[in-house]
């Protein structure tokens, strides 16, 4: 069995006229703009790396804060593959062998599936089992699993060489993989299961609410025209 360590970078809504955050689409509050992954074998040996930027389709303007943190540019993203193409690349990288996904925290797993569903891609190639390496790092440091440890902090604590910038998905996937290798303890591994059914139910409820809002707006416009 292989381990696939994945990291993601996201774009989000921004009102470029007012310079403030604007309302986001509840189906996709965070849109993936970069994917990084590292493949480890069952003995935690390095096998391969994967990385790609992703052309946004929903939040096409690059949020200034995101640009500053990630170092990505609008031009780079404009010339990047679509999410569908990037996702196919990730699936091909993962391969057909049995794998367990690993993330720094729980958020990336949820947002990955949100993006897959929003872009109408198949979820079948991905397993639902995953490991939260961040929680494992907290336990390693004798902290409550709920207490989040910054990736850069644990990299420094463990003496892992950090000669690449953080907040780059390929780099952060590499650092997360290195942390995982350093702190791996099979007795402490908590294999989690992502609740995809719950996410689909939530999306259905959101769509229903959005349709009702559209209908109410249309009815209001009709009433105003008759008044």
Give me the mean pLDDT over the 150-167 stretch: 97
CATH number of the domain at 12, please.
3.30.420.10
Residues 108 and 218 in one domain: no
Residue 218 has pLDDT above 90, yes or no: no
Number of domains in the chain: 2
Residues 86 and 118 in one domain: yes
Domain span at residue 219? 201-227
Residues 57 and 162 in one domain: yes
Residues 154 and 213 in one domain: no
**pLDDT tens-digit profile of 36-46?**
999 999 999 99
The confidence score (pLDDT) of residue 48 equals 98
Residues 62 and 113 in one domain: yes
Give me the mean pLDDT over the 187-198 stretch: 96
Residues 186 and 206 in one domain: no
Residues 24 and 57 in one domain: yes
Residues 114 and 213 in one domain: no
Confidence of residue 227 (pLDDT cuts 50, 70, 90): low
The confidence score (pLDDT) of residue 207 equals 95
**pLDDT tens-digit profile of 55-93?**
999 999 999 999 999 999 999 999 999 999 999 999 999
Residues 190 and 207 in one domain: no
Residues 46 and 25 in one domain: yes
User: Rounded CA gap, 42 and 58, in Å?
Assistant: 38
Residues 138 and 165 in one domain: yes
Confidence of residue 214 (pLDDT cuts 50, 70, 90): confident
Question: Mean pLDDT of all residues in the chain?
Answer: 94
Residues 184 and 205 in one domain: no
73-100 as b/e, with b when 16 or more CB fall inside 10 Å? eeebbeebeebeebbebbeebbeeeebb
The top-scoring range by mean pLDDT among 7-21, 152-166, 203-217 is 152-166
């Amino acid at each position: 069995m292989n381990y696939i360590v994945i990291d993601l970078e996201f774009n989000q809504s921004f009102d470029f006229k007012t310079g403030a955050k604007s309302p986001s689409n509840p189906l996709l509050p965070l849109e993936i703009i970069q994917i990084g992954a590292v493949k480890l074998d069952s003995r935690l040996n390095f096998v391969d790396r994967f990385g790609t930027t992703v052309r946004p389709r929903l939040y096409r303007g690059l949020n200034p804060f995101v640009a500053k943190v990630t170092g990505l540019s609008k031009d780079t993203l404009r010339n990047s593959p679509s999410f569908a193409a990037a996702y196919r690349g990730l699936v091909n990288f993962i391969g057909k062998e049995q794998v367990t996904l690993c993330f720094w925290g729980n958020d990336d797993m949820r947002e990955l599936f949100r993006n897959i569903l929003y872009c109408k891609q198949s979820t079948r190639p991905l397993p639902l089992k995953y490991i939260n390496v961040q929680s494992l790092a907290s336990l390693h440091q004798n902290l409550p699993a709920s207490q989040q440890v910054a990736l850069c902090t644990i990299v420094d604590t463990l003496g892992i060489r950090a000669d690449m910038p953080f907040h780059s998905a390929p780099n952060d996937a590499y650092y997360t993989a290195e942390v995982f290798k350093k702190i791996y303890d099979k007795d402490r591994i908590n294999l989690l299961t992502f609740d995809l059914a719950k996410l689909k139910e939530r999306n259905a409820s959101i769509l229903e609410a959005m349709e009702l809002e559209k209908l109410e707006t249309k009815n209001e416009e009709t009433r105003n025209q008759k008044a």
